[in-house]
Amino acid sequence: MGSGSDGGGALPLFETKEAKFKNAYRLFLISMFIGICMIWVYRITQILFDDDVEERLVWMLLFLSELWFGFYWVITKSARWNRVYRYAFRDRLSHRYEDKLPRVDIFVCTADPTIEPPMMVINTVLSVMAYNYPTDKLSVYLSDDGGSDLTFYALLEASVFSKHWLPFCKKFNIEPRSPAAYFSTKSNSVVDVEGLSSIKKLYEEMEHRIDTAANLGRIPEEIRTKHKGFSEWVSVTSQRDHQTILQVLIDGRNPNAVDIDGVALPMLVYLSRQKSPNHPHNFKAGAMNALLRVSSKISNGKIILNVDCDMYSNNSESVRDALCFFMDEQKSHDIAFVQFPQSFYNLTKNDIYGSSLSILTEVELPGMDGCGGPLYIGTGCFHRREVLCGKKYGTEFDVEYEDSVLINKVQEGASKLEETAKIVADCTFEEGTQWGKEMGLKYGCAVEDVITGLSIHCRGWKSVYFNPTRKGFLGVAPITLGQTLVQYKRWAEGNLQMLLSRYGPLQSYGVGRIKLGHRMVYCLWCIWAPNWLATLYYSVIPSLYLLKGIPLFPRISSLWFLPFAYVIITEILSSIGEFLFYGSTLGCWWNEQRMWIFRSTTSYLFGFIDTLLNLFGFAKSRFDITAKLIDKDVAKRKDIMEFGNSSPMFIILATLAMLNLYCFFWGVKRMIINTQTPSFDSLFLQVLLCGFLVIINLPIYNGLFFRKDNGRMPTSVTVKSIILAVSVCFFIM
Ligand SMILES: O=c1ccn([C@@H]2O[C@H](COP(=O)(O)OP(=O)(O)O[C@H]3O[C@H](CO)[C@@H](O)[C@H](O)[C@H]3O)[C@@H](O)[C@H]2O)c(=O)[nH]1
Ligand SMILES: [Mn+2]
């Protein structure tokens, strides 16, 4: 072991294990699938030809909905068919490669100083500067699409604070290395008290200065004179119209760039690419591509880590962990990127908006890893630079990691470097090039990350999903219902655009390169949006027919009842099982069921419509940035659902809730009073479905009628939803 870089016969740097009880689980899935087929058979055979036309139509559409759900079920379970789990051995990596570690460039993206506070951004930056990795091989780039001098100022402060923070982290080997996160953990007793209080004081002073500037609305003159970079803002008139601003805040090549212990600091660069109203800037994808080019002129790291500005590093070993997957002598040759899960630090106990993504991170991504590799989800992801720049998988790929020392030899000063690197961030630079198409991140899709990952898979590469016990990255999940639904709308829209693009998993592009199973799992996200149709149908029609007293499901005493019961019960139990097994609560499961229905009838519907509008050229693509600032008033109510405005999404939700409430009570009442209508026996499943929807919607009734706080539903929503729901019921009766 450890006999040189060829690694022949050496122990592997990573290991892959299959999930336990795989075959038993597969058998179980097959039994469920048989149940689903029986439901389809029931719909086909039981259609009554002497029924009236309307009822036959309703029945057929119900069948189509169930066909869709069954199909979607197959897709979701395909992501569970072959789960694998990865383990990295970074001690072996250090042993074999410590002096040959590659350069790593870290890209942090921010876009708006008001909804992404600079203090949060620099905490993320500091956390990644403090990785346990040779500092001369680490470069950190901040892309600021907000073009804000406040963000620049905060980064300048961070560059000074890092001289104290990095030695502190390394001396006491602390975790996590985001100062704000670290100061709020309770377990920092191992550190010496004096050291802790003095670093905390430095941090608080810095925070105070930044807050003062933020409240002032401009950077005070005495600060502006301290760095030449501020002069760039003299000519900046707007966020959307300015020249490229590139400032090397710490020049890692400079022997004077050291911390208080005399240890070299990582490179730290601020970039705000040129913006002009005449050029599309392509949101985050455009920012990433500018970073790719600028960094290639400065540090040109072979490995690139991309994080969103709210995702601080929670584990100082992540770079080394990721490298285990890139540097194994036998198994690394086709691995293009290593994706860590998106995890969040601001979740409430029962995760009221279902934003923990726990099933995605614990079940679906390991499942995708088993059949070709996880998707690229935009943050917490390590890429090989060449792959991100468009390289195909093939023999010409060199796995040689020895760094060319070229960059170090360049003896030009930082200002000279800024001048040369700046040019590639101009908005005209990409004209007539393959950037955004065959090179870099793809343009024109609301999920630039996922489609870029897919195109990499189409070029023959694999990817790896790594989910260590100590989470690699922690970020901010949206904290209001509105934000959550808008975020999902963007995702649903982007994924549907992807399905329709030439990379779409159903398209022929990439056939043969990307396996059927892998395509199926990709579909899981691609077809989120179309779910709205079947879900909406299922949450309206059976309830209205309950009101009319017409049964649409088999009676309890019929044999056809069995497949329904089997599928419903096993699906509920197995999904509860998944939640509990991965450390979630029953409450989380319940909230996730609610959010699935809410998203389907709002985010997915709107995402679907916008995709179509976009396709036919009626709408321009946009990127609604998720707010990371937590409003104090909202934070007080974090355990109840936050509505607060009269978004059209809320009107839909409220109308559906009212409709089901009405159908449930009138339907049941009529069933009891009027003996003409069919009995409970034949309406049981409909009552159950409608009752379930009523219970799911409890937070909506609460928001409509009982709450007094600012997070309640506005009265206008209450009025509109009641009128709409009542009219639908009268119309149908
Ligand atoms: O014009 C823009 C817009 C956004 N961003 C950055 O993109 C990141 C993600 O934006 P956010 O609003 O936080 O979106 P989320 O929905 O939380 O992001 C998820 O989904 C996005 C795709 O929809 C991916 O880009 C993200 O990486 C992924 O975390 C943030 O750091 C932004 O600063 C830019 O740099 N430029
Ligand atoms: Mn985000």
51 dihedral zone (left: phi>0; alpha: psi -120 to 50; beta): beta
Compare 323 and 676 and report the one with higher pLDDT.
Answer: 323
Q: Is residue 568 part of a domain?
A: no
User: 519 in ligand 1 pocket by Cβ < 6 Å?
Assistant: no
The structural domain count of the chain equals 1
Compare 6 and 413 and report the one with higher pLDDT.
Answer: 413
User: 116 in ligand 1 pocket by Cβ < 6 Å?
Assistant: yes
Q: Is the peptide bond before 176 cis (omega within 30 degrees of 0)?
A: yes
Distance CA 63, CA 41 (A): 10
Q: Is residue 263 part of a domain?
A: yes
Question: For ligand 1, what atom is nearest to the CA of residue 487?
Answer: 16
Backbone angles phi, psi at 248, to 5 degrees: -85, 105
Q: Is residue 261 part of a domain?
A: yes
Q: Is residue 297 part of a domain?
A: yes
Distance from the alpha carbon of residue 60 to the mean position of ligand 1, in angstroms: 41
Tell me whether residue 308 is annotated as binding. yes
What token pair was written down for 454? 């897919």
Average pLDDT score over the chain: 92
Alpha carbon nearest to ligand 1 atom 16, residue: 487
What token pair was written down for 676? 């003409």
Alpha carbon nearest to ligand 1 atom 26, residue: 378
Q: Where are the beta strands (DSSP E) in 427-471?
A: 462-465
Are 249 and 160 in contact by the 8 Å Cβ rule? The answer is no
Average pLDDT value for residue range 131-136:
97
Distance from the alpha carbon of residue 450 to the mean position of ligand 1, in angstroms: 12
For a pLDDT cut of 70, what percent of the chain falls above it? 95
Q: Is residue 73 part of a domain?
A: no
What token pair was written down for 552? 């649409």
Q: Is residue 276 part of a domain?
A: yes
pLDDT at 408: 47
Closest by Cα among 107, 200, 104, 214 to 152: 214
Distance of CA 377 to the CA centre of its chain: 6
**Residue 7 DSSP one-character state:** -
User: 497 in ligand 1 pocket by Cβ < 6 Å?
Assistant: no
Distance CA 235, CA 632 (A): 36
Number of the ligand closest to the Cα of 286: 1
User: 720 in ligand 1 pocket by Cβ < 6 Å?
Assistant: no
Distance from the alpha carbon of residue 148 to the mean position of ligand 2, in angstroms: 19
321 catalytic? Reply is: no
Which range among 251-260, 413-422, 607-616 shows the weakest confidence by mean pLDDT? 413-422
pLDDT at 439: 95
Q: How many CB atoms lie under 10 A from the CB of residue 537?
A: 16
- pLDDT tops 90 at residue 344: yes
Element (H, E) at 109: strand 104-110
Distance from the alpha carbon of residue 308 to the mean position of ligand 1, in angstroms: 6
Are 599 and 696 in contact by the 8 Å Cβ rule? The answer is no
Distance from the alpha carbon of residue 357 to the mean position of ligand 2, in angstroms: 13
User: 364 in ligand 1 pocket by Cβ < 6 Å?
Assistant: no
User: 592 in ligand 1 pocket by Cβ < 6 Å?
Assistant: no
Average pLDDT value for residue range 105-119:
96
User: 108 in ligand 1 pocket by Cβ < 6 Å?
Assistant: no
Question: For ligand 1, what atom is nearest to the CA of residue 112?
Answer: 33
- Banded pLDDT at 189 (limits 50, 70, 90): low
99 catalytic? Reply is: no
Q: Let me know how many helices (H) and strands (E) the chain has, helices first.
A: 27, 13
What token pair was written down for 588? 């989380």
Compare 393 and 484 and report the one with higher pLDDT.
Answer: 484
- pLDDT tops 70 at residue 401: no
**Residue 275 DSSP one-character state:** B
Compare 89 and 666 and report the one with higher pLDDT.
Answer: 89
User: 124 in ligand 1 pocket by Cβ < 6 Å?
Assistant: no
Alpha carbon nearest to ligand 1 atom 13, residue: 626
Q: Is residue 685 part of a domain?
A: no
Question: For ligand 1, what atom is nearest to the CA of residue 624?
Answer: 12
Tell me whether residue 284 is annotated as binding. yes
- pLDDT tops 50 at residue 33: yes
Closest by Cα among 128, 122, 84 to 105: 128
pLDDT digit string (tens) for 440-476? 999 999 999 999 999 999 999 999 999 999 999 999 9
Per-position DSSP letters for 197-226, written without gaps between them: HHHHHHHHHHHHHHHHHHHHTS--HHHHTT
Closest by Cα among 212, 236, 235 to 153: 212
677 residue type, one letter: T
Helix axes 586-601, 680-696, angle to 10 degrees: 90
Question: For ligand 1, what atom is nearest to the CA of residue 309?
Answer: 31
Distance CA 225, CA 227 (A): 6
Distance CA 110, CA 124 (A): 11
Distance from the alpha carbon of residue 165 to the mean position of ligand 1, in angstroms: 27
Question: For ligand 1, what atom is nearest to the CA of residue 288?
Answer: 35
Distance from the alpha carbon of residue 667 to the mean position of ligand 2, in angstroms: 44
- Active-site residue among 145, 328, 369, 610? 145
Q: What's this model's pTM, rounded to 2 decimal places? A: 0.94
User: 107 in ligand 1 pocket by Cβ < 6 Å?
Assistant: no
Alpha carbon nearest to ligand 1 atom 22, residue: 447
Secondary structure (3-state) at 733: coil
Q: Is residue 571 part of a domain?
A: no
pLDDT at 46: 87
541 residue type, one letter: I
pLDDT digit string (tens) for 520-568? 999 999 999 999 999 999 999 999 999 988 999 999 999 999 999 999 9
What token pair was written down for 485? 């639904």
Number of the ligand closest to the Cα of 378: 1
pLDDT at 212: 95
Are 249 and 270 in contact by the 8 Å Cβ rule? The answer is yes
For a pLDDT cut of 90, what percent of the chain falls above it? 81
Question: For ligand 1, what atom is nearest to the CA of residue 628?
Answer: 13
Tell me whether residue 116 is annotated as binding. yes
Q: In sequence order, what are the beta bridge partners of 312? A: 474
Tell me whether residue 462 is annotated as binding. no
Question: For ligand 1, what atom is nearest to the CA of residue 281?
Answer: 1
- Active-site residue among 144, 321, 449, 610? 449
Distance from the alpha carbon of residue 344 to the mean position of ligand 2, in angstroms: 10
- pLDDT tops 80 at residue 203: yes
Alpha carbon nearest to ligand 1 atom 30, residue: 308
pLDDT digit string (tens) for 82-102? 999 999 999 999 999 999 999
- pLDDT tops 80 at residue 376: yes
Secondary structure (3-state) at 87: strand
Are 158 and 193 in contact by the 8 Å Cβ rule? The answer is no
- Banded pLDDT at 628 (limits 50, 70, 90): confident
What token pair was written down for 73? 């079920």
User: 145 in ligand 1 pocket by Cβ < 6 Å?
Assistant: yes
What is the domain extent for residue 237?
116-301
Among 284, 448, 498, say which to mutate for ligand 1: greatest number of ligand atoms within 8 Å of CB.
284
